[in-house]
Structure 1
Amino acid sequence: MAEQTDFRRLRSLVDGVLVTLYQRYRHQDLPELCERLGLPSPPADDGTTKHERLTASLQDCPDEQLLHVAQAVLDTEMLLFIETRDLQDAVWAGRDYVEIPGRTRRELAKEFDLTDHLGHPDRFLALLGQLWDLGEDEFNVWGPHRGTLRDDIQRHVIRFSDDWTTEYLFEQLRAFEAPHPRFGHFLEGLASPTVLPDEQAQRRFVEFANHHLQPVGAQLRQEGEVDGYPQFLLLPLGRGTAHRPRNLIFATLGKPDIRFTSALDNDIEIAERANQVLVYDRPVGKDGLLWCDLLSWWQETRDADNAEEAALALYGRMEASLPSQAEGQKNLFWLYHRIYKSQLRDVPALLPEIWVHWDPKSIRERGERAQQNLRMDFLMLLPGNRRVVLEVDGMQHYTRNRGSKPDSAKYAATMAGDRDLKFRGYEVFRFGHDELRDRDRAQLVVADFFRALLGRFPDCSS
């Protein structure tokens, strides 16, 4: 999200900087200074003061140019921390940012092990100094600072790392009540190669942070590289839906006969052919539906005490629902469980052959009023109420007569169904069957996709 820029406040902050900035320059330097900052040319030197000339230039600056001026001041001028902080907050508030609630910040801090970051103490301290008030005079040239927060951090966090908890450090930084953009920049800094010049350490922090961020709809995601290291940005996961699902009907072997036992409460039962589907009817928590949740439900509903045997049985039952000729679907399902094998309990369940709409009549019987995409290849329920649909497109999605004739109407109906799902808050990702037909070649495609989707790195051995 982004707020509407408060141009009156922003103009006041820039003016406050100009009050001291003019003292560093001569009259003849002001035109070049204004050009560098993106300000209009100042009035001629006709006996007015330098401050008056700069103030006149600022008054002539239109609002739409003011953000660029403020950013140029931040980029090129040496300011007191309080001036930098206030300008940054005003500029950042007008840009897209991700909200991280105070509770999430505190829970993250409680579990945050600083060991990797303290391996690079100068870099870590530099990051803190860029974003938080460490209580020092930036223009004091008379040696080391004493009695400041920087001095306390050097002593109680860096030299004697057991003195302060990370939560207490965050409190001293005032990170829990900081504006959302500032806290977001802090997280990005903690994941950056500037602070952590060690890719494995970067990825450890990102995976840890995303465990706390994903339930509130945020994620640190790799968006490029810097000097060969991954660069992570804080981004929203997706808009999600307003509510959590009540019933999940999946692993379908045939179309079940469903009836409502209570239309008011949306309670259903499978009247006939109940063995042809699985129905998960438990509440889905803030972390989404994890494999461990699905396995627990399977064990309890089938009195299966042995977790390993139950896991194999559940996997086998879901695998059996995949169409026999759909090699792409089979490979996607198999590869997902392979690349996350050692961390399977903590990753989202991949539900195959899932009903996302229900109509007791067939599409042919319903005719032009039929809903499309009643059943999808896969569904994942992620933190933040995100519903992610995965489809593997074979020829049946755009041909008729067993693939012998193109069918543009069929393809159009599929796309219309996609749009409907997206308007309802689903995220839809489609794979081409040829991408997944060969299991060995598909492994990299699948691993890269789920790494980006989940912010979780596959097992090293896969």
Structure 2
Amino acid sequence: MSFFPTGSSAVNPESGPAKVSTRTLRAAIEDALIYSFTRTNLELVLAEELQLTWTNDACDPSEADTKRALIDGYIHPWPLPQLVAFARRLDAEVEISETYLVDLRRYIDAYDRGGGVEGPTKNLIFAANGPKPDIVLQDAVSNDIEIVANAEHCLVYEQPIPAEGMRFSHLIRWWRAREGLPETLFDDRAVGHELHRRLAASLDSEAERVVFEAYAGRYKASYDIPALIPQVYLHYDPYDQRTRRGLSSGLPLARQRLDFLLLFSDRQRVVIEVDGKQHYAQGDQANPALYSEMVAEDRRLRLAGYEVYRFGGYELTQKQNSAAMVQNFFTQLAERMK
């Protein structure tokens, strides 16, 4: 089904470290496909074997005048994390010339060395709006968990997290299936609004609501962007804080829940924290111990590969144009994470 040319535009693996970007990785993917398949076979690989979605409204795949245009019609809008995920699929699932696989692997390795969290996301428990869930290990060997009480007060995304990150479009499809909302009666917009209301119900403060609603405005342009996921369980302690402090094992785990989490890819995880007085004071009295616990946990998260950004409750609720400030922050963050 494939053929390999005598000439090649692949990067020489001995030419030095690859500089991975949307442009360079897309070019490497295009070359790998162009020089590995005939035009007829390429259409089959993209549409049937890889089951990609055609994105060019101006023409059909059969009307693309070159192989590069055909490939571009499937992958052109993709950001870097999605291209990396696709390069991994080509390496694992498609018969590509080893010459071009070496090139793709160099870019994948360069991307992996760029930082982020090691290992895949396994459990996503979020949007808790009631009593703490009671979680047990159903299978400790496989790290399978089960919520045995209070499951109705939180959401659990039980599907594998896509390599390109968790997008709002993924959550919409999941919520549609979870709630049994047929496409004939509920379009994506209606499902998205219902999901938005459920997520908003988990927010703890007006300051969190400012952040959440400011980001939700970005969904008007596209649902195919990273979802802002509220109240995500990071650690889990089966005991409440009073019980834990009375045990010989010491203090409760710090920051069991994250205010917000953005999964830009399988490696790029961004934490957004909204700080009220309870983070650094007891009543109106500053508490250095609380503050030190907070910054120590920030250090731990950053060393684990997370990015952490903090908003002060005051700047979100007591200053004018706070929503515009948050929107500008998310615009800059999205640009940085490309």
Shorter-normalised TM range: 0.5 to 0.7
* Cα deviation, residue 360, structure 1: 0.6
- CA contact 1:371–1:417 (8 Å) conserved in 2: no
Say which SS state the counterpart of residue 211 (structure 1) adopts. coil
- TM-score normalised according to structure 2 size: 0.66
Q: 2:216 aligns with which of 337, 357, 364?
A: 337
Question: What does residue 220 of structure 1 align with?
Answer: none
Q: Which amino acid aligns with 2:289?
A: A
* Cα deviation, residue 309, structure 1: 3.1
Greater helix proportion: 1
> Residues 269 and 163 from structure 1, CA distance in 2 versus in 1: closer, same or farther, beyond 3 angstroms?
closer
Q: In 2, distance between residues paired with 1:342 and 1:215?
A: 19
After the TM superposition, which residues 48-447 of structure 1 pair with which residues of structure 2 at under 5 Å, given as runs? 97-98=19-20, 104-107=26-29, 211-215=78-82, 239-253=115-129, 254-305=131-182, 306-307=186-187, 308-323=189-204, 326-343=205-222, 345-367=223-245, 368-401=250-283, 404-437=284-317, 441-447=321-327
> Residues 449 and 210 from structure 1, CA distance in 2 versus in 1: closer, same or farther, beyond 3 angstroms?
farther
What value does the CA root-mean-square deviation take over the aligned residues?
Answer: 3.4
- CA contact 1:107–1:212 (8 Å) conserved in 2: no
Say which SS state the counterpart of residue 274 (structure 2) adopts. strand
Q: Which amino acid aligns with 2:236?
A: W
Q: Which amino acid aligns with 1:105?
A: A
Q: Which amino acid aligns with 1:314?
A: L
Question: What does residue 113 of structure 1 align with?
Answer: none
Higher relative contact order (CA 8 A, sep 6+): 2
Q: In 2, distance between residues paired with 1:216 and 1:400?
A: 47
Q: Which amino acid aligns with 1:373?
A: R
Q: In 1, distance between residues paired with 2:148 and 2:83?
A: 38
Count of residues in correspondence between the two structures: 256
Question: What does residue 449 of structure 1 align with?
Answer: 329
* Cα deviation, residue 212, structure 1: 3.5
Superposed CA offset, 1:142-199 (max 9, x none): xxxxxxxxxxxxxxxxxxxx9867579xxxxxxxxxxxxxxxxxxxxxxxxxxxxxxx
Among the aligned pairs, what percent are the same residue? 33
- TM-score normalised according to structure 1 size: 0.49
Superposed CA offset, 1:343-377 (max 9, x none): 1x211111111111111112343234432111110
| Greater gyration radius | 1
Say which SS state the counterpart of residue 310 (structure 2) adopts. strand
> Residues 163 and 252 from structure 1, CA distance in 2 versus in 1: closer, same or farther, beyond 3 angstroms?
closer
